[in-house]
Amino acid sequence: MRPRSAAALIALALCAGAAAQERALPLERLKPGTDFLGADLRALQSDDLGNPAMLWVERGAKMWSERAGTAGRSCADCHQDAAQSMRGVAASYPKFDAARGRLFNLEGRINACRTGHQGAQPFAHESQELLSITAYVASQSRGLPIHVGIDGPARAHFEAGRAAYYRRRGQMNLACAQCHEENWGKRLFAETVSQGHPTAYPAYRMEWQTLGSEERRLRACLSGVRAEMLPYGAPEYLDLELFLAWRAEGLKIESPGVRR
């Protein structure tokens, strides 16, 4: 091929942008985590009273109306009814905030509101407060399809997240892709490997016996391949969350979910 034609083709591919983004797991083959659960846990997730995660959602609902910080404002003071204002939010996160010039996941966005609009201290990672309010906000997107933007300033984060996904790590020298892309549906001991989508987070994970964030789940994966768990708040988690959300395009939000 003559160099001029090759350059033209590359230019065309770049212009097509996100639409031309190749998917290792095509959209038609996406399966949410619930497909890999046993019948008991699958039923528990849709049991409004039995799903333990709903205890955190209920607390989050109360927190929504609680005044906080130097501004003495509650979430409700700005956002009114969460069922309206927060509908679709979790399905579109992580999202790049142009005003603040950074990528946020839902937890980060909530804390930005705490500090920026309420004049309150941010909630600590994995704190009961942060989990509760995140679960409440995320639950407002239940049933809605995931769709995140990876263009413009989000692009660099997306690329970093994708690189992280395919990077081998840990004593077992495994990359996320090796289990969740190359071997999903196969057995690892008694478990069936899922495709590793983030549709259910924050989720009540039986292994934790409590509700936990997507970030905690990523830490658990690092621990699983015997890699050093990056500290909470590490940018790599955020980049990965963006990549994972893009990878799960179209899958319905299940938060708050139940997982093994």
Partner 1 sequence: MAARIQVPQQAKRGEPMPVRIIVQHPMETGYRHDEVGHPIKRNVIHELSCRYNGAEVFRADLSSGIAANPYIQFFTVADASGVLEFSWIDDEGVRGSERAPVVVA
Partner 2 sequence: MKRREFIAAAASLALAPGAVRAQENPIAPIDPKDPDVQSVTKGAPIRSGRVKLELPPLADNGNSVAMKLTVESPMTPQDHVRAVHLFSERNPVRHMAAFHLGPKSGRAEIASRIRLAGSQKIVALAEMSDGSFWAGSASVVVTLSACLDES
- Catalytic residue annotation: 221
Closest approach of partner 1 to the CB of residue 49, in Å = 4
Residue 22 engages partner 2 in binding (rule: CB under 8 A): no
Closest approach of partner 2 to the CB of residue 179, in Å = 9
Contacts of 239 (CB under 8 A, 6+ apart): 103, 157, 158, 160, 161, 164
Closest alpha carbon to 223 in 168, 159, 172, 147: 172
DSSP letters spanning 148-159: ---STTHHHHHH
Closest alpha carbon to 159 in 45, 18, 10: 18
Contacts of 212 (CB under 8 A, 6+ apart): 126, 131, 201, 202, 203, 204, 205
With CB under 8 A as the contact rule, the residue among 54, 63, 86, 258 that binds partner 1 is: 54
Contact assessment for residue 140 and residue 83, using Cβ atoms and an 8 Å cutoff: yes
Nearer to partner 1, 61 or 225 (CB): 61
CA distance readout (Å), 197 to 13, 192, 207: 27, 14, 18
Residue 41 engages partner 1 in binding (rule: CB under 8 A): no
Residue 229 engages partner 1 in binding (rule: CB under 8 A): no
Q: Is 12 helix (H, G, I), strand (E, B) or coil?
A: helix
Residue 247 engages partner 2 in binding (rule: CB under 8 A): no
Residue 219 engages partner 2 in binding (rule: CB under 8 A): yes
Residue 55 engages partner 1 in binding (rule: CB under 8 A): yes
With CB under 8 A as the contact rule, the residue among 31, 42, 59, 102 that binds partner 1 is: 59
What angle, 0 to 180 degrees and rounded to 10, lies between the N-to-C axes of helices 106-113 and 128-139?
Answer: 110
Residue 37 engages partner 2 in binding (rule: CB under 8 A): yes
Q: How far apart are CA 136 and CA 171, in angstroms?
A: 37
Nearer to partner 2, 36 or 96 (CB): 36
Q: How far apart are CA 162 and CA 229, in angstroms?
A: 18
Closest approach of partner 1 to the CB of residue 48, in Å = 8
Closest alpha carbon to 241 in 211, 204, 197, 203: 197
Residue 52 engages partner 1 in binding (rule: CB under 8 A): yes
Nearer to partner 2, 112 or 229 (CB): 229
Contact assessment for residue 257 and residue 199, using Cβ atoms and an 8 Å cutoff: yes
Residue 50 engages partner 1 in binding (rule: CB under 8 A): yes
Residues that bind partner 1 (rule: CB under 8 A) add up to a total of 10
With CB under 8 A as the contact rule, the residue among 1, 49, 98, 99 that binds partner 1 is: 49
Closest approach of partner 1 to the CB of residue 129, in Å = 13
Binding site for partner 2 (CB under 8 A): 37-41, 44, 171-172, 188-191, 206-209, 212, 216-217, 219-221, 223-226, 229, 260
Binding site for partner 1 (CB under 8 A): 49-50, 52, 54-55, 58-59, 204, 209-210
